Structure 1
Amino acid sequence: MSRCRRDPSKEARPSQRRAERRAPASPPNVGAGAPSNAGARPLATPATPARDAGTPRDVPIAPGKHRFEQTIAVRRKSCYPQEMSPLRMLLERRRSVVIMGVLNRTPDSFSDGGRFADEETALAQIDAMLSEGADMIDIGAESTRPGAQPVPDDEQIARIGGSVRDAVRRGALVSIDTTSPAVAARALDDGAAVVNTISLDSAAELGALCARRGASLVLMHSRGPMSAMAGFSAYPDDAYGDVVADVAREWSSAAERALEAGLPRGELVLDPGLGFAKNARQSLELCARLDELCALGFPVLVGPSRKSFLARAAAAEASEQGDRAGAALAPPPERLGGTVAAALACAARGAAAVRVHDVRPVRQALDVMRAIERAGPGHRRGAGAPLAQGARGDG
């Protein structure tokens, strides 16, 4: 994205800048009739908002803001043809992989169904994930486990309760996990900035909604409804000719519908749908070849957290090595190691964001991976943040 270039004809001369620096600044919200300081232009009244020279005439300055805030807002408007959403700004300024923390307000999710069904525990989990380093919170009220039946809109809204508002009040960037435009619209009303859908079928309708509301859309690849999924990581080997090429083609077709509905290209995020209409081998191949999906030009979000393909992959490797104990399938709460491994592998291949239940360990793993990369020969020695001193007894 190109930066705005300064117009030399509209730059203040050095003598003028020195005079302005010497003059005391006018306080914000000074009325037009109040005496102004010599050498400094008085702030206008709200009825006639002031404008900086050289900025577009159609960019208003909100009354009541400090001059610095006004100037930044105007310059940002003039740099970008349209206002960027919070998610797009987060992705563009990120120094590491963005972490999306999962909050399931469901009684039957495969991993933690029922744990955060009431308002008090849900709020505690929001606070915990934010304190552990989550960059955004994904809130959902409809289970996506295999065989799950659709949940009516009013029931989803009732389950979510005040969670979106609570998270927004705490300064969180909030995503609503739903296939329903009505549920998505309600969450956007409550302050959510992202819609996260597991259905390609709703791409056009949700794309239009996000376009109208200035929100981002995370569009996940899947085939058919959850009620039709046969089981965890159960999908025919021959269902895809080339799983990466087929996912890219099917996702791109749905993405085109969202874009045609008015969604700006920069507000669309690709999720390959690990575990959704894919068996373990297919999900692993998507992780291994994620760079090919990143080449499509959209930010890529992956959601490997606690999924069955991790347990199957670990069990298969353990079985090959003769480890009978390790060959048993680990239940969802015992898949943290696999979650971390998949997150690191996908990050190394270009993932922009990961969706996880266990924020702190994944955040730590990504931070250490980045520290190791920065310590390599390709980086200037001594660059970056200093390492913290270890506690007594650290090795």
Structure 2
Amino acid sequence: MHTSHTIRLRNRPPLVLGRRALVMGILNVTPDSFSDGGTHNRVDAALAQARRMLDEGADIIDIGGESTRPGAEPVPVQEELDRVLPVIDAIRAAGISAPISIDTMKPLVAHQAIEAGADIINDVNGLQGAPEMAEIAAIMDVPVIAMHWDRDWSAETDPMPSMITWFKHTLSIASNAGIDPRRVILDPGFGFTKTLNQNYSILRQLPDLAGTFPNNAILVGTSRKSMIGKILDNQPAERLAGTIATTVQGYEHGGHIFRVHDVAPNRDALRVAEATMYGPTEQ
């Protein structure tokens, strides 16, 4: 069963999480992301993709201007701002009111993106990178998606106990900065420094994460990742079926938000999984 959460947003209706999963559409405005780099890095193309994902049922648009794929070069702050701010401006100028999350590890980018109309900070460092990130989230009064990315992780690490300890530190940082810890969404960070076995162990053990942190929603982001490609021996664009399998497993194990490239098929799979767990609702 899913824990229930209502996460307040500053200028929009709250995120209501529970049995009905939310779909987060990935909008990479980068030339070098592992799956779709260069596809949506013009403002008109990014706006069209945002509209497409919303038409397909996305609940949140996640905008990122820096690739975190292995070997990616760091992006200067101004270059990242030049990538993401015009896209946020265009989405809001088009009258689109859906929640936007800004996927960044840079506090200045997070701050300016929120001022431009973003609603959520998606921090791949889980508030354990730049100290200012938690302060900005508190000052701007926005929720945070805190992803697990432990650079000290090794192949010998016992995944779930280590992750639980790491997230306890994240929630302590949030609380000390003045963020209500219930507004922190936990993302296990599939693929980040983790072995293939560790990734699938974490997916199996998501109920342990949900049980340890009953006041926090969980985001699952496995879309097109190498944990699928290594099983199926295929390329990112060929990983839809594998992604859907992990999406359904993640939902059955307590996930609330699913960050995906392919909105419609994952949305459909989640609706069927919901009907299986809780019974169908009349349409």
So what's the TM-score if we normalise by structure 2?
0.90
CA distance in 2, matches of 1:258, 1:204: 10
- Choose 1 or 2 for highest CA Rg: 1
4+ long deviations beyond 6 Å: none
The letter for the 2-side match of 1:223 is: D
Alignment equivalent of 1:307, drawn from 218, 222, 225: 225
Map of 1:108 onto structure 2: 32
8 Å contact kept, 2:8–2:15? no
8 Å contact kept, 1:304–1:343? yes
Alignment equivalent of 1:362, drawn from 266, 270, 279: 266
**Gaps (5+ residues) in structure 1?**
1-79, 226-234, 315-328, 376-382, 387-395
The letter for the 1-side match of 2:98 is: A
Secondary structure of the structure 2 residue equivalent to 1:202: coil
Map of 1:190 onto structure 2: 116
Relative to structure 1, the CA distance from residue 334 to residue 309 in structure 2 (aligned partners, 3 Å threshold; closer, same or farther) is same
Relative to structure 1, the CA distance from residue 355 to residue 268 in structure 2 (aligned partners, 3 Å threshold; closer, same or farther) is same
> Per-residue deviation at 1:167?
2.9
Matched, 1:159 2:105: no
Alignment equivalent of 2:201, drawn from 257, 265, 285: 285
Alignment equivalent of 1:145, drawn from 61, 69, 81: 69
> Per-residue deviation at 1:251?
2.0
8 Å contact kept, 2:85–2:113? no
Secondary structure of the structure 2 residue equivalent to 1:189: helix
> Per-residue deviation at 1:306?
0.2
8 Å contact kept, 1:100–1:353? yes
Map of 1:266 onto structure 2: 182
Map of 2:151 onto structure 1: 224
Map of 2:41 onto structure 1: 117
8 Å contact kept, 1:181–1:206? yes
Q: From the two aligned structures, give the one with the greater strand fraction.
A: 2
Relative to structure 1, the CA distance from residue 371 to residue 203 in structure 2 (aligned partners, 3 Å threshold; closer, same or farther) is farther
Alignment equivalent of 2:239, drawn from 329, 335, 341: 335
The letter for the 1-side match of 2:49 is: Q
The letter for the 2-side match of 1:171 is: S
Matched, 1:384 2:266: no
Relative to structure 1, the CA distance from residue 350 to residue 356 in structure 2 (aligned partners, 3 Å threshold; closer, same or farther) is same
Identity over aligned residues, as a percent?
36
> Per-residue deviation at 1:205?
2.2
Alignment equivalent of 1:256, drawn from 165, 168, 172: 172
So what's the TM-score if we normalise by structure 1?
0.65
> Per-residue deviation at 1:189?
0.4
> Per-residue deviation at 1:89?
2.2
> Per-residue deviation at 1:224?
3.3
Relative to structure 1, the CA distance from residue 236 to residue 246 in structure 2 (aligned partners, 3 Å threshold; closer, same or farther) is closer
Relative to structure 1, the CA distance from residue 243 to residue 171 in structure 2 (aligned partners, 3 Å threshold; closer, same or farther) is same
CA distance in 2, matches of 1:271, 1:130: 22
> Per-residue deviation at 1:220?
0.5
Alignment equivalent of 1:350, drawn from 254, 262, 265: 254
The letter for the 2-side match of 1:84 is: R
8 Å contact kept, 2:22–2:258? yes
Matched, 1:172 2:88: no
> Per-residue deviation at 1:279?
1.2
Secondary structure of the structure 1 residue equivalent to 2:189: coil
Secondary structure of the structure 2 residue equivalent to 1:354: strand
Map of 2:155 onto structure 1: 237
8 Å contact kept, 1:299–1:351? yes
> Per-residue deviation at 1:88?
8.6
Alignment equivalent of 2:133, drawn from 182, 189, 206: 206
Secondary structure of the structure 2 residue equivalent to 1:246: helix
Matched, 1:373 2:277: yes
**Gaps (5+ residues) in structure 2?**
1-5
8 Å contact kept, 1:207–1:259? no
8 Å contact kept, 2:199–2:227? yes
> Per-residue deviation at 1:373?
3.0
> Per-residue deviation at 1:206?
1.6
> Per-residue deviation at 1:219?
0.6
8 Å contact kept, 1:164–1:192? yes
Map of 1:127 onto structure 2: 51
